[in-house]
Amino acid sequence: MRVPMSLDRPEAAAPGLSSISGRSFLTTALRFSPQLRQGLLVTGLLALLAGGGRIVAPLTIQQAIDSGLAPHTVAPAVTVGAIAVLVAGASSLLLNRRLQEKVESALAGLRRDGLRRVHDMAASTADRVPSADLVSRLTSDVDQVTTFLQGGGIQFVTNAAQLLIAGVIMSVFSWQLAVPVLLLSALLISTMMLMQRVIARRYAQARRDLSRLQSVVAESVAGAPVIRSTGTAARTARKLDDAVDQARDSLLRTLVPLHGNTALGEVTIGVMTVTVLLGGVWFSLAGDPAQPRLSSGEVVAMIFLVTFFVRPLQFLVQSLGEAQNALTGWRRSLELVATPSEAVTDGSALPPGPLGVRVTQVSARYGSGPLVLHALSVEIEPGEHVAVVGRTGSGKSTFAKLLTRRVVPSAGTICVGGVALDRIASLAGRVVIVPQDPFLFDGTIADNINLGTPHTAVSQGNAAGASPSGSSRDGVERIVDELGLSDWLAGLPDGLDTQVGLRGERLSVGERQLVALARTALADPDLVIFDEATSGVDPATDVAVQKALAVLTRGRTTIAIAHRMITAETADRVLVFDGGRIVQSGHHSALAARPGRYAALIDAWRNQ
């Protein structure tokens, strides 16, 4: 059963991402989108011309009426009013185009910076944030801002200028009539600001629930074959229904304060208009008829002015929901961009050649959970081949994640190549991990292998990078020959140009692993970590994988998280993990000859 959430709890970013409060939103937006600051003087001038030009018309009407609509005053009044309207229209057009370009440029920068941050944020942070949440922050959340602007949101600036100018002129014409209007508007704006906090929290929760719904839908679609084969459609449907209901309820909860604001705004605006209309007539008739407090023209002008004054308020009331939704999307995108990068700006470079590893009294945990590694100490020499074995949950994969900074030690130190791991400027290209199920981009085999080339250019049209050309193609073919994969490629329909499909779905697990090994060899790293890289390989492909591994590991330091005896047998040393500790260390033959955890693992392997 779903646990109900607090309706108005404080906004919170996803675990690991920066949290941006309402007060720091503007400064953060300007910090990451400096183009919004450029040309503020011109923007302000255009806003005043656009807003003020509209208000000139009531003033010309007042002059014409008070002069008795004399011909010699009507024509100039119409001319001035027409010029003012034209200036207002032109200024509004220039202002809207200027603001649209600046905001869209800022949003495009947010998308680019956000994607870069996904790639360079701490791996421990990336592992805690659902991928669908990151995608929504770069796509639908930013789209909310664009949709709002295209729907008229850009008029906020012009309306603000119009509101200010109309308020000043009303006060000059008749402060007695302007005071109730200004007081009512101040009450309305204050109430709306208080309600906006509630609306902001509810929209933030709605965006999180929509992101969760996106994750559930993506998982259900991608896992459809498994769902059908296991007969778990009903359970999956319940999970999807729960996510749909939660997203729906979150969106419905935003409507209560929104509708309350709208109702309050319409009532207040109506009272303002009636106050000026009836109050103006009464005020003009209450004095000496020979010298009225307000002329007929001034009363008409005040009615026009209050109309120009309340129109921006009405727009604000009616578009508050869309505005808050856009601000929530913008804030979520900024939370991603503002998340600290893993890059060490003043770090040290790794020395050339094979890299040694020294782990000293290292403990680790996931989040605030219990320790999963306890005071590990081990030293791996440059060029040494080490196999790490142990039962499931013994800490093998956590050890691999420590060496690639996917997990941060809670105690102890790790040095790679004699440099503290947290002081290394970059591990890219020098320390590479080959996972159990490698990721392939939609493209050809050659495209995916070519990603191993340092600084490969990635085009917009191909997620796997531009098709290898010239020297790049030669490098791919050279690596394929060195790893002994030519015969395997010869059996594929188009060789290196064979399409792998989305996430490599057209290839078997073993074939995806061959592509990953070739990609790693092309990167030419000095420390390679195999995280159970051969666990899912079929026997037919295993021979090719073992040959490729023999070539790839030559002259490099390798650490293999192993579950097969052949990996341990060919290693220079075997580390046996149990309960988050290294309980045995030595060569395969020496460890196999004496009773212990490793001997028990060998028996288990032989009985498979």
SS3 446: helix
C-alpha distances in angstroms, 169 versus 157, 176, 184? 19, 13, 17
User: Residue 386: what pLDDT?
Assistant: 92
For range 18-43, the mean pLDDT: 77
Of 221 and 73, the one with more pLDDT = 221
Residue 70 backbone class (left: φ over 0; alpha: ψ -120 to 50; beta: rest): beta
User: Residue 13: what pLDDT?
Assistant: 52
Q: Angle at Cα 59 formed by Cα 185 and Cα 50, nearest 5°?
A: 65
Tokens encoding 246: 């939660």
Measured distance CA(434)–CA(469) in Å, rounded: 25
pLDDT in tens, 226-242: 777 777 778 888 888 89
Report residue 499: phi and psi, to 5°: -75, 135
User: Residue 385: what pLDDT?
Assistant: 92
Cβ pair 579, 370 in contact under 8 A: no
pLDDT in tens, 432-458: 888 877 888 888 888 888 887 764 433
SS3 455: coil
User: Residue 460: what pLDDT?
Assistant: 36
Is beta strand 581-586 parallel, antiparallel or unpaired with respect to 357-365? unpaired
Measured distance CA(385)–CA(558) in Å, rounded: 5
Measured distance CA(209)–CA(222) in Å, rounded: 20
* Of 378-382, 462-466, 563-567, minimum mean pLDDT range: 462-466
Tokens encoding 505: 């779905």
User: Residue 539: what pLDDT?
Assistant: 65
Residues shown for the chain: 608
User: Residue 377: what pLDDT?
Assistant: 93
Tokens encoding 478: 């050279």
Of 360 and 281, the one with more pLDDT = 360
Measured distance CA(112)–CA(275) in Å, rounded: 51
Q: How far is CA 606 from the centre of its chain?
A: 48
Is beta strand 527-531 parallel, antiparallel or unpaired with respect to 371-380? unpaired
List, in sequence order, every residue forming a beta bridge with 576; answer none if it has no partner: 389, 584
User: Residue 451: what pLDDT?
Assistant: 81
Cβ pair 462, 500 in contact under 8 A: no
User: Residue 132: what pLDDT?
Assistant: 76
pLDDT in tens, 61-108: 666 666 666 666 777 777 777 787 788 888 888 888 888 888 888 888
DSSP 490: H
Measured distance CA(279)–CA(266) in Å, rounded: 19
User: Residue 461: what pLDDT?
Assistant: 38
Cβ count near 577 (within 10 Å): 24
What single letter denotes the amino acid at residue 138?
Answer: L
Cβ pair 283, 302 in contact under 8 A: no
Burial 194-209 (b: 16+ CB within 10 A, else e): ebbebbbbbbbbbbbb
* Of 66-80, 192-206, 399-413, minimum mean pLDDT range: 66-80
Cβ pair 120, 341 in contact under 8 A: yes
Report residue 231: phi and psi, to 5°: 65, 35
SS3 360: strand
Burial of residue 274 (CB within 10 Å: 0-12, 13-18, 19+) is exposed
- Domains belonging to the chain, first-starting first, are 22-337 (1.20.1560.10), 382-405+426-456+465-606 (3.40.50.300)
SS3 520: helix
For range 391-411, the mean pLDDT: 88
Looking from the CA of 218 toward its CB, the CA atoms found within 13 Å total 12
Question: Which position has the token pair 């092309």?
Answer: 522
pLDDT at 293 over 70: no
List, in sequence order, every residue forming a beta bridge with 363; answer none if it has no partner: 411
User: Residue 3: what pLDDT?
Assistant: 37
Measured distance CA(212)–CA(221) in Å, rounded: 14
Tokens encoding 212: 């969760």
* Mean per-residue pLDDT of the chain: 79
Measured distance CA(459)–CA(462) in Å, rounded: 6
pLDDT at 546 over 50: yes
* Of 17-21, 362-366, 494-498, 518-522, minimum mean pLDDT range: 17-21
Measured distance CA(333)–CA(20) in Å, rounded: 10
Max mean pLDDT among 28-37, 154-163, 341-350 falls in 28-37
* Of 69-73, 255-259, 356-360, minimum mean pLDDT range: 69-73
Tokens encoding 93: 């057009």
* Of 340-354, 359-373, 515-529, minimum mean pLDDT range: 340-354
Give 232's contacts (C-beta < 8 A, 6+ positions apart): 226
Q: Angle at Cα 457 formed by Cα 521 and Cα 339, nearest 5°?
A: 95
This prediction has a pTM of 0.65
Report residue 47: phi and psi, to 5°: -65, -40
pLDDT in tens, 120-179: 777 767 777 777 778 888 888 888 888 877 766 667 777 778 788 888 887 877 777 778
